[in-house]
C-alpha cells in the first residue's frame, strides 16, 4: 500500500496557499487558475484553515454573501485535519471518509509539505489493486 509520501512523490509537493485576509474572490480565481478544489490558508508559515469550493457554495452563495467582500477567514474551515507522510492511502482515506472531507494538508516536522485529495487516494489505491491483479495473473499462468 502506497504511503502519502509516495503519493506526493508521484503527484508533486506543490501546495497553493492563500492568506486569511484575502477575499473569497481571490481564492476562487487562484483555484480556477490552478484547477484546484481547495487552498491551504496560511499566515506567518502556519496553517490557519482550508478553503474549498464547498466552503464557497455553502458559506458564501447560500448565505447571500458576496465573494468580492467576504474574507477567506470568514468562511474557511478552521479545524483542519492533516495527514503525515508515513500514513497509507487506506488510512488517510478512512479518515477522510469518516470526517466527510475531500482535501488534507500533509505535514512533516510541523511544515506543510503537500496536499492530497480523495481523488489522489483513489488513484493510488486503484494502482495498488491493479498491481496485485497483475501479480496474481502471472502466478496463475506460470
Which pLDDT score, from 0 to 100, does residue 63 have? 92
> How confident is the prediction for the chain on average, in pLDDT?
93
Residue 30 has pLDDT above 90, yes or no: yes
Residues whose CB is less than 8 angstroms from the CB of residue 100 and which lie 6 or more positions away in sequence, other chains included: none
Task: Give the count of beta carbons closer than 10 Å to the beta carbon of residue 37.
Answer: 15
Which pLDDT score, from 0 to 100, does residue 135 have? 85
Residue 44 has pLDDT above 90, yes or no: yes
Q: Which domains does the chain have, with CATH numbers?
A: 4-141 (3.10.580.10)
- Give the mean pLDDT of 121-130: 88
pLDDT tens-digit readout, 78-106: 999 999 999 999 999 999 999 999 999 99
Task: Compute the distance between CA of residue 54 and CA of residue 132 in angstroms, rounded to an integer.
Answer: 35
Amino acid at each position: 500500500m502506497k504511503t502519502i509520501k509516495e503519493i506526493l512523490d508521484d503527484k508533486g509537493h506543490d501546495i497553493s496557499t492563500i492568506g486569511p485576509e484575502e477575499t473569497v474572490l481571490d481564492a476562487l480565481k487562484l483555484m480556477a487558475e490552478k484547477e484546484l478544489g481547495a487552498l491551504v490558508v496560511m499566515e506567518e508559515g502556519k496553517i490557519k484553515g482550508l478553503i474549498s469550493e464547498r466552503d464557497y457554495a455553502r458559506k458564501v452563495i447560500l448565505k447571500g454573501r458576496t465573494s468580492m467582500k467576504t474574507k477567506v477567514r470568514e468562511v474557511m474551515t478552521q479545524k483542519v485535519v492533516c495527514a503525515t507522510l508515513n500514513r497509507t492511502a487506506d488510512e488517510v482515506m478512512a479518515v477522510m471518509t469518516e470526517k466527510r472531507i475531500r482535501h488534507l494538508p500533509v505535514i512533516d516536522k510541523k511544515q506543510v509539505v503537500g496536499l492530497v485529495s480523495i481523488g489522489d487516494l483513489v488513484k493510488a489505491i486503484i494502482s495498488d489493486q491493479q498491481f496485485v491483479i497483475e501479480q496474481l495473473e502471472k502466478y496463475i499462468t506460470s
